[in-house]
Amino acid sequence: MYNIRHILLWILFVNPLLTAGQSAKVAPARSKLQAGPMVGYSDMREVMLWAQTKEPARVQVRYHEAGKPTPVYLTSEIQTSRQTAFTAHLLADQVEPGKKYEYELLIGGRKVSLPYRTQFQTQNLWQWRTDPPAFRFGVGSCTYVNEEGTDRPGKPYGGGYEIFTALTVQKPDFMIWTGDNTYTREVDWNSRTGVLRRYTHTRSLPEMQPLLASTHNYAVWDDHDYGPNDADRSYWLKPVTLEAFKLFWTNPNFVFPEGCAGTFFWNDCQFFLLDDRTFRAPNEKPDGPEKAYFGDKQIQWLVDALTFSKASFKFIITGGQIINPTAAFENYAIYSTERDRLLKAITEAKIPGVLFITGDRHHSILHKLDRSGTYPLYDLTISPLTSSVAQPRADELKQPTYVDGTLVAERNFGLLSVSGPLNDRVLTIKVHDQKGAERWSRDIRASELK
């Protein structure tokens, strides 16, 4: 028979030991997590997830439809290793179209307890049935994360990491990272060890984790996550940075084995992810037919894919500005022969619905190119997320393509939404500062781009 003394002894001594033992089962799993989990691409029949551990470990995702605890599904278990920077790509392939799912990350068979939402969604099967659903997506570029000892002396180049909290609060369906998603330094870009360490360092930013865990992510690269500043096709370690890109991002396809170009769909819209580095001639090379930017085969693929596409909006995503005619910095205007060729091909093919989304410039701005006999081409530049801010040159603001009132010279992100019936889709562009305050907004109807 237990008396009050036995009960007190249980409360004071035995129960704390059991509680500590239960905590020990959770804590080791969390302590082995380096970065993530991250939600990658989404389709109707599968979703890719990602995680990185600190050491070799067995990693798996357990998931179920939101609001329905059963049935429960498991991805295949992946053993992480040093050779692949302890990353794991985890395929959720027991899903149905148009559903939301909640998930848990397991390391060594134990749940990793996280203080934020972990969920993903599958895309809708709307074709021939309903109008396409409305959706929202985030856009940003230029993510510099400070690291004492490898940064240049002086004022820190990065900061404002709370921008990722402001982005997460908006609950976009997915996020497009438009280049310079990490910044390799002198200590990094000559070795595989350095490249993988830099990718790991950026991906491990605490403020970034809630966004990664609940928002689908797609990416292209620009010079800093490809190689050194202004790097071109001569960069000696580009197979290594491509390997790193594929380890740390989970784009659904890569159309060329040597680069990161690809495409994906979200409802009635198609996104073309371009590679502006792999085939690029040096900036200083004299302009002419031999001065490649995207290169012949990438342009051929793009024009063919745009022509084939029936998307309401066809978003072309790349690092550097396309429409800005200022021949400075790394704008496409420096490669004017190829630029003219691409824009002429889009015009001659009578491709509707084309818009460009770019980054790189460390300020956000909208350019609009009026074209005789057809619709204008827009180029939305969104930059920077956490890198330092830069002003445009005075002459850039005098260009006829500059849309007055759209310059944002502070850390910021874009939030774009597509809504309305299939025959009258509307793109709403909003630009927010690092605290989440809206700076400007503009609507573009699909009917205006025909």
Q: What is the pLDDT of residues 157-181, one digit of tens each?
A: 999 999 999 999 999 999 999 999 9
Phi, psi (degrees; rounded to nearest 5) at 121: -140, 155
d(CA 347, CA 313): 16
What does the pLDDT look like over 403-441, one tens digit per residue?
A: 999 999 999 999 999 999 999 999 999 999 999 999 999
Q: What does the pLDDT read at residue 27?
A: 55
Strand partners, 430: 415, 441
Phi, psi (degrees; rounded to nearest 5) at 294: -85, -30
d(CA 399, CA 324): 8
Quote the pTM value. 0.94
Q: What is the mean pLDDT of the chain?
A: 94
Q: In the chain, pLDDT over 90 holds for what percent of residues? A: 94
CA-CA distances (angstroms) from residue 252 to 43, 361, 362, 428, 443?
Answer: 9, 27, 28, 26, 29
Q: What does the pLDDT read at residue 29?
A: 87
Which residues in the chain come in under a pLDDT of 50? 1-26
| Beta strands, E only, 55-195 | 58-65, 73-74, 78-79, 87-92, 100-107, 110-111, 119-121, 135-140, 174-178
Domains of the chain with CATH codes: 33-121 (2.60.40.380), 135-448 (3.60.21.70)
Beta-carbon contacts of 383 under 8 Å, excluding residues fewer than 6 positions away, are 140, 141, 142, 178, 180, 359, 360, 361, 362, 363, 364, 412
d(CA 231, CA 248): 20
Q: What does the pLDDT read at residue 184?
A: 98
